[in-house]
Structures are given as C-alpha cells and as structure tokens.
Amino acid sequence: MLAPIASATAAPIVPPPSVMAAVPPLDGTVIYTEEDARTMADIEQHGRTKGRLRSVVPDSRIDVMPATLKREGWNLCALTFDDGPHRTVTRQILEVLNREGVRATYFPVGRVAQHQGDLIRDFVTSGHEIGNHSLTHSDLRVMPVEAQRYEVAETNRILRSFGANPVLFRPPYGRYSLSLLGVARNEQMNSVLWTVDTRDWKVRNADKIVEHIKTAAGTGSVFLMHSTYPSTAEALPRVIAELRAKGCEFVTLTQWLERMRELALPKIVNAGMPTPPAANAAPAARN
C-alpha cells in the first residue's frame, strides 16, 4: 500500500545545523570519488550473494532467488535514475522514456528539485514514479538522527508540493545505517538500492554503458542510472532496446517491489474451507 500523501502546504521544518552546512551538488551533478566507487562496487558484490529482493531492499525479511524468477518466467525490469534534476539532460531523459513508452523511477536531490518544480510535475504527469534521494546528497550515516530525519522529511515536503508521492528512499551513494533505515520506515518509506550499476557515472560514454547492459543485465534487474550525464541520455534508447530484446517488461520500482513480494510470500490456503470433490471421483460405496 502506498503511504498517504501529506499536505502539500506543510511548512518547512527548521533544519539542524549539520544540514544547513551541507551544500548540494551544482546543478544536481554528483562527482563520485574512488571511495564512492568502492562503496557502489561492494553493493553489487554483496547483492550477488542474495536474492533479488534483499539485493534491492536491504532490510527485507523475505527474498526471491533468480532461479525462482526463471522458473516463473518473471522478468520485470526497473529503470531508476538518481541525482539532479539537470535542467537539460534530465528533460532529455524524460522525453526518451515517454517516447519509448517506458515508466521509470526518478530519485532527485531535494534542494535541487525545489527550483525545478515544472520538471518534477512533468515526470508525475507522464506516469513516472518520484522517489526521495535526500535533501543535499550527503553521506547521511555521519549525521545525527534528527538531521537524517530532516533530510528525508524535507525532501518529501518539497516533492509533494509538486504533486509527487514519494514512498521510496534511496540513500546517497547507497550508504545506509540502521538508524537511517529506521528513519525511512518512520516516514512510511522503503529504502532501496539496485542490482545493476550501469556505471554511467564512471565511464561517461554511451557505447560503454550499452555494452555493460548487454553483459550485466539479469532476470528481473533494477538498473541504476543517473539523470545528469549527456552520455546517459544518449545511451538510453539503445539501453531500452537491448533490455527489450532480453525480454524485459518495464515497470516502476514500486510496481517491481509489489510484484516481487507477491512472488515471495507463500500462498495462504483457508484450511476452514471444504475441499471440492474431484470432477471424476467415483461415487461413495453404499452399505
């Protein structure tokens, strides 16, 4: 169930000092360091030891293994985009998604998004999902809990004022702590990662992005891309074509999670209902 949308006119909360000092990336474009690269590589490596659901939702108590997905013929794929909005590139990505008829999930940075409400509204109007990627794209693990809560809650307030209903939270750089997961849960949100990092943030080359998709995409993948690099927008039509050729059915990440949980949860049989007789059962013998 989606959490109810809070009032779009809710007043901003007074930010803690640690958040006031944080500066979001210029035009939403994040420069990833070698340390960031190691963190993101670790996420993929650890994800290979888990099923699809726990790879994406770090605090999930249920899971689905790739073998189950193959047996069920299940190949829903979710394209997700982080960072920004970048005034030109993010708009180009939206245009490609709409032209291709693909619904995706976009995680903007709150303090950047607050100046581009028209773009957020256009994502929502086009049927895409908007998630929460924090207010400043800082490493939230090092912040006190009240600052973590502000980063999440204030971003929700901003995005809701543009008509979005964020129910997913993606921690910046994929870095999370137990306290941060708890903050997201208290905001009625799921914390989410990915299964395939396209490495668009590293290679900045459309051909390399497409080639990586060819080799790394698996059954029921969640793809991490970014809305701020021209090479990502250039690669996107070919990425979509490659994934369609692999049999991907594109859905938003919330839809992916809902369908994955349906597959993970055991079917409940009502033991109180009588078992219907078999159609060809022989009549009972008479004494």
Residue-wise pLDDT for 122-148, tens only, equals: 999 999 999 999 999 999 999 999 999
| % of the chain surpassing 70 pLDDT | 85
Q: Is 82 a catalytic residue?
A: yes
β-strands 222-226, 129-130: how paired?
Answer: unpaired
- Answer yes or no: is pLDDT of 12 > 60: no
Q: Are 210 and 242 in contact (CB under 8 A)?
A: yes
Average of per-residue pLDDT values in the chain = 89
Across the range 188-209, mean pLDDT stands at 97
CA distance 100 to 56: 25
Tell the residue number behind the tokens 């190691």, with chain if given: 38
Across the range 168-187, mean pLDDT stands at 97
Residue 257: which H helix or E strand, with range?
helix 253-264
Across the range 188-216, mean pLDDT stands at 97
Query: Is the bond preceding residue 85 a cis peptide, omega within 30 degrees?
Result: yes
Residue 100: which H helix or E strand, with range?
helix 89-100
Q: Which band of pLDDT confidence, cut at 50, 70 and 90, is reported for residue 24?
A: confident
Catalytic residue among 82, 83, 197, 200: 82
Residues 6+ apart with CB under 8 A from 123: 94, 106, 130, 164
The pLDDT assigned to 9 comes to 45
- Per-residue pLDDT tens digits for 231-287: 999 999 999 999 999 999 999 999 999 999 999 987 544 444 455 555 444 444 444
Q: Is 115 a catalytic residue?
A: no
Catalytic residue among 86, 133, 137, 226: 226
The pLDDT assigned to 28 comes to 85
